[in-house]
Amino acid sequence: MKKTLFLVCALSLTFQANAQNYNLIIGTYTNKGNSEGIYVYDYNPLTAEAKLKSTTKTVNPSYLAISENKKFIYSVNEDGKNSSVSAFSFNAQSGTMSLLNKKSSEGADPCFITVDDKNVIIANYSGGNIAVFGRNADGSLTDLKQNIQHKGKSIDPKRQTSAHVHQVLFTIDKKHLISNDLGEDLTYIYKYNATSTTPLSTPKAFKTNPGSGPRHLAFTPNGKIAYLAHEFTGSISTFSYAKGNFNKLQEIGTIAKDFKGKIDGADIHVSPDGKFLYETNRGDANEISLFAIATDGTLTFIETASTLGKGPRNFSIDPTGNFLLVAHQYTNDVVIFKRDKTTGKLTDSGKRINVGTPVCLLFSK
């Protein structure tokens, strides 16, 4: 009996020792004076323990992307008319980053960035445009390749008087790029050719509900279903997707009917197994909503819970699906929830990462 117990304990310790840790990369706002830039943590997916590995000073790195080979990190620098985009080399083992170069974002207040082997593409919120930069062999940015200006508006008299590009996202097959424009109540679909001198072409768009403010879209792992979170209403639109075409299946709310106050929908993600959808609301809500995903992609509401902080701008499910981490812009912490993979429900793990004004969470090996 003792030998059996010893063997079980030894195997358990070996498993824990050999567990794949991840780099947790956190982007922040530095203009509040409580943050220096980008923080890299060593993250254990079995325990959700996170230990700081490195800090890289850069201005307002509010959204990040990492190359497929994990050797380069790209960051927006959200700074009004002085905004830029930065390229860094990345040592995954040490967590250290070194600046390669920086380019003007060619538009004010970039808020989203995506990357593939050939290009880095950013969404400029205040500028209302999409900027495309090439990638050199050493990971640095080329000069601007393409600049696409959106020009419309919508019904909100304060926040929709001009275009506000809020996201740029590849479809799973990378044949198209999706761009949500909060200011226009439009979602654009661009054809994408990575090797072209002008990678984005032949745009088409669909209109969302007037005054809804489309913000972030998330695909299921197979790329056949998409969920669009609306900032102003907190609602979620469900679409089937194929070959550049969206077909609306459902519209569902995330806020209780008797809720009074500002909603401010934020982030949306599908669980790694494709069974559950999560969406956060900021404003006066500070909540995260959970939905079950049916075989046809439609959603069934399960529950809404507090995110245990203020300003849940961004969240991320760790690569194992064991934990869900919520970055709180206004309470300066990352709250870590334990995820039940069977029910999708969240419970407080009790673990926190204290960091100034966190607004982007990115996992990498």
What size, in residues, is the chain?
A: 365
Percentage of the chain modeled with pLDDT above 70: 95
What share of the chain has pLDDT > 90, as a percent?
93
pLDDT at res. 17: 43
Residue 45 region, left (φ>0) first, then alpha (ψ -120 to 50), else beta? alpha
pTM of the model: 0.94
Residue 19 banded pLDDT, cuts 50, 70, 90: low
Asked if the model's pLDDT at residue 294 lies above 70, the reply is yes
283 band by pLDDT with thresholds 50, 70 and 90:
very high
* pLDDT given at position 258: 87
Average of per-residue pLDDT across 292-297 = 98
Count Cβ neighbours within 10 Å for each residue of 315-351 and write b for 16 or more, e otherwise. Answer: bbbbeebbbbbbbbbebbbbbbbebeeeebebeebeb
pLDDT in tens, 145-173: 999 999 999 999 999 999 999 999 999 99
11 has a pLDDT exceeding 50:
no
Q: What is the pLDDT of residues 24-44, one digit of tens each?
A: 999 999 999 999 999 999 999
Both tokens assigned to 52 = 């700081």
pLDDT of res. 168: 98
CATH 2.40.50.140, applies to 29-364: no
Residue 47 has pLDDT above 50, yes or no: yes
Arithmetic mean of pLDDT, 108-120:
98
Q: Which of 18-22, 94-98, 350-354 has the lowest mean pLDDT?
A: 18-22
Q: What is the mean pLDDT of residues 96-116?
A: 98
Average pLDDT, the chain: 95
Q: Give the CA-trace dihedral at 276, 313, 120, 136, to 10 degrees.
A: -110
**pLDDT at 309 (0 to 100):** 98
Q: How does pLDDT run across 197-235, given as a tens digit for each residue? A: 999 999 999 999 999 999 999 999 999 999 999 999 999
User: Sorting pLDDT into bands at 50, 70 and 90, what band is 257?
Assistant: confident
DSSP strands (E only) in 195-311: 200-207, 214-219, 225-230, 236-242, 245-252, 265-270, 276-281, 287-293, 299-306
Helices of type H across the chain: 2-18
Q: Spell out the domain ranges in the chain.
A: 29-364
Question: How far, rounded to the nearest angstrom, does the alpha carbon of residue 303 sit from its chain's CA centroid?
Answer: 22
Confidence check: pLDDT of 266 > 70:
yes
Joined together, the tokens standing for residue 79 give 């700074």
Span 288-308, average pLDDT: 98
Span 126-131, mean pLDDT? 98
pLDDT computed for residue 13 by the predictor: 46
**What element of type H or E holds 111?**
strand 110-115
